[in-house]
Amino acid sequence: MKIEQLHNLPVQKAFRKELRNNMTSAEVVLWQMLKGKQVEGLKFRCQFGVGPFIIDFYCPSLRLAIELDGEYHFSEEMDTYDEQRSLYLKENNIKVLRFENRIVFEDPLRILEAIQDVMKERDSINPSPLTGSSPKTGELFLMLLDSTLERCLNYLIAPLS
């Protein structure tokens, strides 16, 4: 019996690459915060395929999808698509966090805290000696946030110079 591939279908490869090369400014800023295991040592992937859908950001160890919603998401057609995607992901035991793009700029700590909440939730279900939060986790998030925002602003401003 052949096992069906669920992640990063070959037919999606070019489109996933196009999405990575043409990220919105909110996606760029969030990716700067998530990449390189900067958040609690978690590995995130950008524009990751799950079945027929492509997720903005995915953490395999938490089975967590993070979706950023821009203006084009605020239509009846996109609401239906987002609902179908969320249902598919839920059926595959993947938790979905959704944020409007503006949250990345206005309250990025909210995103990091939501990731931490998912970690705690998953740890309560499957305790692991390798995970857990230290008393300084909030301080680490703030330090990460400061350095990431500075790098992102430099990245976004550089082309204007």
Q: What is the pLDDT of residues 9-32, one digit of tens each?
A: 999 999 999 999 999 999 999 999
Structural domains in the chain, sorted by start: 10-156 (3.40.960.10)
Q: Residue 87 has what pLDDT? A: 94
Q: What is the pLDDT of residues 85-113, one digit of tens each?
A: 999 999 999 999 999 999 999 999 999 99
Judge whether residue 145 has pLDDT over 80. no
Q: Residue 131 has what pLDDT? A: 44
- pTM, rounded to two decimals: 0.76
- Rounded CA-CA distance 51/110 in Å is 28
Q: What is the pLDDT of residues 109-144, one digit of tens each?
A: 999 999 999 999 988 876 654 444 443 445 555 555
- How many beta carbons lie within 10 A of that of residue 74, not counting itself? 10
Q: Residue 132 has what pLDDT? A: 45
- Rounded CA-CA distance 112/78 in Å is 26
Helix (H, G, I), strand (E, B) or coil at 144: helix
